[in-house]
Homo-oligomer: A and B are copies of this chain.
Amino acid sequence: MGIAPSSRCRPAAQFQMVAQAKKARKETSLDTTEPGPEGRKAPTRKPRADSVRNRERLLDTARQVFAAGGSGASLEAVAKGAGVGIGTLYRHFPTREALFQAVYEREVDELVTLAETISEGVDAVTAMRRWLHGLVRMVATKRGMLTALEPALESSQPLFSNSTARLLQAAGVLLQRGVADGMIRDDVSGEDMMRAVLGICYAKQDDGWQARTILLLDVFVDGLASRR
């Protein structure tokens, strides 16, 4: 019910999370090509098949559950939907954030790809505008996406996740193009911009939502493009 679909908060849990966040890390980055900084002692076993399968199921289910119910959706519902115990869910994704991150990594990928392809043969401001329109369209389609992008703005994590960094960088590149051409002011960073953009995207998605949001983003881009 918050400003996003149902979204937000999670009362006092955050205090425990602080303590917990550390021992998380490990399992989350299962796919980052990281053969191990320390030379593995034993020639580690192959990961168990059921583990891999469950992880996949959890991700699939989480995607659906979050899309339907916002980030506030129950983790227990995700576990049940995936047909695994709650313990299994927590083992794979020690924090709520870890799960989000894993689920929506792909969404971010789409955005990054879009940023790369969209700027072909148009001026920087137009490219920026198109990218943001694309972003709105994607957010409109998959309501969970905003939730996923939210952590991109969290400065709490010491060094943000891979996909966050890539997202911010994609924004930064688009900005830079404009700056280089003298079409966009140079005092706004990719992070700044994404904060404003995602902020504008929040809010209840009622009828005219998409059109209004695009208008507001255009206004913002106009502001970016106004030299002063």
Contact = CB atoms under 8 A, between A and B. Distances in A.
Contacts of A7: 2, 8-9
As for how many copies of this chain the complex holds, the number is 2
A156 interface: yes
Residue in A11, A13, A154 whose Cβ sees the most chain B Cβ within 10 Å: A11
Contacts of A185: 219
Interface string A186-212: 011000110110111111101000001
A53 to B, nearest CB: 28
A202 B200 CA distance: 9
Nearest to A96: B1
Contacts of A8: 2-4, 7-10, 72
A24 interface: no
A97 B3 CA distance: 13
Contact of A156 (B73, B155, B204): B204
A4 to B, nearest CB: 8
A48 to B, nearest CB: 32
Contacts of A71: 9
Contacts of A10: 1-2, 8-9, 11, 72
Interface of A: 1-4, 6-14, 17, 70-74, 97, 150, 153-156, 185, 187-188, 192-193, 195-196, 198-204, 206, 212, 215-216, 218-226, 228
5 contacts: A7-B9, A9-B72, A10-B11, A198-B199, A219-B220
